[in-house]
Chain A
Amino acid sequence: MDNLGETIPVHIPEFARGTTMTFGNPAESGSGRLLFMTPLDLIIILIYIVVVLGIGFYLKKYTRTGDEFFMAGRKITAWVAGLSFISANLSSLETMGWSAMAYQYGMLGAHAYLIGAIPAILFLAVVMMPFYYISKTHSVPGYLRLRYGEASRSLAGISFSFMTVLVCGVNMFAMAKVMQLLLGWNFDVCIWVSSLTVAVYVALGGLLSAVFNEVLQFFLIWLGTLLIPILGMIEAGGWNQMIASINAQHPGQNFTSLWGNLGSAADNPMGMHWTGMVFGLGIAVSFGYWCTDFLQVQRVMAAKSLRAAQNGTVIGAVLKMLVPIIVTIPGLLGLAVLTQKEGIVLVPESVAQTAGGHSYNEVLPLMMARYFGPGLLGLGVTAMIAGFMSGMAGNVSAFSTVWTYDVYRPLIRRNATDAHYVSMGRWSSIFGVFIAILTAYAAKFFSNILVYLQVLVMFFIIPLFGVVILGMLWKRATAAGGFWGFLAGILTSIGEFVYVHLFPGYFDAAHLNPDHVKSIALSPLAQDMAVNMYSAFWSLLVSVGVAVLVSLFTHPKTHEELKDLVYGLTKIPDEGPTPWFKHPTFWAGMVFCALIAVNIIFW
């Protein structure tokens, strides 16, 4: 029997690594199964699985060379790149987790889609993409090899490969657990059906297949979820009525402010000061995740031209900023509608498990069950499955590329044929899924390992951003500086994690020591998320600081060696005359203005 009530990690990489989403025992909580499916709903889900597998089989003939398999032939248009870029990140645990956050904390959670994403995505489009694209590298670790040498590439390649399959396993576990609790489906069937589907379509069609399916999944996620805010707004009587209802039920609390309650850690339930939001989330976590996590960057690196890559990234920024419509608003509507119309008050998971009732995490499925009849419910559940699978496929395709090009080729077999590497790419996709399945089962039986897996990405991605951006903007950065800066950042991240969970005489990964938290997150009140934000910022500072220091005492590469890798030594290719309204910089500026406007409106 499953470990009921165990912790499920929310796949919210750019903001809340370390946040946990727990689902209690429905039987104990008295909630029972939340969603009841009809044969029509099951047919809709089955059609989706058949279509994604069909796309994989169809695309196999277009992915014969290494460039075709690992980089989709570098022929993706801006729109497809942008949609895929965002879809790879739009996991179902993200939509469910952030809806729960909106119910619990109001609009604070929307920062993940604003300052926690948009500036970084625009920076990637305008500043970093030219270096990635012009260097013609296959991966972010591949850029590290060109810029810093083999040691940094190996460290990044091995850590990234390790990380992606484990995160994929966590996604797989979470999907099976959610489906089991919401629909009563068998855990093992969920694991094997979802993983084999992803393994087959990624192994057959590589990145091209993953991108095709991610674009498809983007449409399904939106069309399967958008009806909730539409119907919710109708039922609530519009935005103003919804806010009035929330305020009437929660007097004295501010659910619609982005910044108003961040003046002090004591003013908000996250225990977060605005500096943590700006420097931790807005700079370290956000830039680390969006600019150097290869899972994301791979999609836009595969665009057909530099301009398409940049425009695709800007399109991704616009799409990202729209996600609160299907995530934050349903959470707020839950506050307004469920309580007012049904008298349902959602409670923390621990309360739901002991005293009964529904937990915050159930707000999105509850809203789905409220409005969706047969057919629509099938579409909504398909959207959830699509969301889980897009996250898994993104990890598998990125793992396959980095494993083959940055671990297998340089460290195991250097001079094989292109066909051999494509074959390795296909087999490593299957192997990666197999490791992910083992991770999912490990998570099922040893739920404590989830605590470590949730913060794993932050250990590597943030320091990686530090050395990559230094390498792109500073000619003086050396190979030794890059390697030691990266390593020091990783060790700092791990050290901070251990420190905040260290108690006199013992270590507890599930709880924070307020005395230690105070020195990392500036307040003993800081919760997981706030601690992660500050930890990320300190590790970024350490990685950049060490890289600068070591570089000053070691020999830099020559300008000739740094050509097309560093600012000032890279010539942007002329792609012909472009009217101002088609230029990525113009649109990046427009999106940034929209970001400022949204922050002012919901200040």
Chain B
Amino acid sequence: MQASRQIEIWFFIGALLFLYGVLILGAGIYHLVYPPLQHTALYELHSDIWWGALLLVLGLFYTMRYWPWRRRMPPEG
């Protein structure tokens, strides 16, 4: 019996970071459009937007680079 190929840890990391990136970037854009009543320090930098974007890009890179279901070898013959 041939064991199935194990999904690499980097894929899980990528998927989680991507999901977090989407949520945090989304929250950042929402707060840009509808500013909250109480601001955190350095709110004007909108760190949630660029940090969320960073997580999204990093997550996307790892997810695609270690996507487990690609490069399936075609059956012989």
Interface residues of A (CB under 8 A from B): 40, 43-44, 47-48, 51, 55, 58-59, 61-62, 80, 211-212, 215-216, 219-220, 223, 227, 231, 234-235, 341, 369-376, 379
Contact = CB atoms under 8 A, between A and B. Distances in A.
**5 closest cross-chain pairs (CB), A and B:** A375-B27, A375-B24, A370-B41, A373-B40, A212-B9
Given A51-B16, A212-B9, A373-B36, 19 more contacts: A43-B23, A44-B23, A48-B16, A58-B7, A61-B4, A212-B12, A216-B9, A220-B16, A231-B47, A235-B41, A235-B42, A374-B27, A374-B36, A374-B48, A375-B23, A375-B27, A375-B48, A376-B51, A379-B24
How large, as a class, is the contact surface on chain B?
Answer: 20 to 34
Contacts of B42: 231, 234-235, 371
Contacts of B12: 51, 55, 212, 216
A44 B26 CA distance: 13
Nearest to A382: B20
Interface in B23-63: 23-24, 26-28, 31, 36, 40-43, 45, 47-48, 51-52, 55
Contacts of A341: 41
Contacts of B7: 58
B2 interface: no
A219 B45 CA distance: 23
A63 to B, nearest CB: 11
A62 B6 CA distance: 8
Contacts of B23: 40, 43-44, 375
Contacts of A211: 9
13 contacts: A47-B19, A59-B6, A61-B4, A80-B9, A212-B12, A219-B13, A371-B42, A371-B47, A375-B26, A375-B28, A376-B48, A376-B51, A379-B20
Interface of B: 3-4, 6-7, 9, 12-13, 15-17, 19-20, 23-24, 26-28, 31, 36, 40-43, 45, 47-48, 51-52, 55
Contacts of B6: 59, 62
Pick from B9, B13, B55 the residue with the most CB of A within 10 Å: B9
Contacts of A376: 24, 47-48, 51
A451 B42 CA distance: 41
A372 B23 CA distance: 14
A58 B24 CA distance: 27
A227 B47 contact: yes
A43 to B, nearest CB: 7
Given A40-B23, A55-B12, A374-B27, A227 B51 contact: yes
A372 B40 contact: yes
Contacts of B36: 373-374
Nearest to B26: A375
A231 B45 contact: yes
Pick from B7, B17, B43, B47 the residue with the most CB of A within 10 Å: B47
Contacts of B41: 231, 235, 341, 370-371
Nearest to B36: A373
Nearest to A235: B42
Contacts of B19: 47
A372 B43 CA distance: 9
Contacts of B24: 44, 375-376, 379
Contacts of A44: 20, 23-24
Nearest to B52: A375
B28 to A, nearest CB: 7
B13 A370 contact: no
Contact of B43 (A40, A55, A373, A375): A373
Contacts of A212: 9, 12
Contacts of B26: 375
A374 B16 CA distance: 18
Given A216-B9, A373-B40, A47 B16 contact: yes
A373 B17 contact: no
A311 to B, nearest CB: 17
Contact of B13 (A61, A62, A216, A372): A216
B27 to A, nearest CB: 4
Contacts of A234: 42, 45
Nearest to A47: B19
B13 A215 contact: yes
A48 B23 CA distance: 13
A211 B43 CA distance: 37
B55 A40 contact: no
Contacts of A231: 41-42, 45, 47
Nearest to A73: B6
A51 B28 CA distance: 24
Contact of A216 (B3, B4, B16, B52): B16
Nearest to A220: B16
Nearest to B31: A373
A212 B7 CA distance: 11
A223 B47 CA distance: 13
B50 to A, nearest CB: 10
Contacts of B51: 227, 376
B31 A374 contact: yes
Contacts of B3: 62
Contacts of B15: 51
Contacts of B9: 80, 211-212, 215-216
A419 B27 CA distance: 49
A215 B14 CA distance: 12
A258 B4 CA distance: 52
A219 B62 CA distance: 12
Nearest to B39: A373
A537 B6 CA distance: 45
A212 B17 CA distance: 15
Contacts of A55: 12
B16 A373 contact: no
A259 to B, nearest CB: 34
A59 B4 CA distance: 11
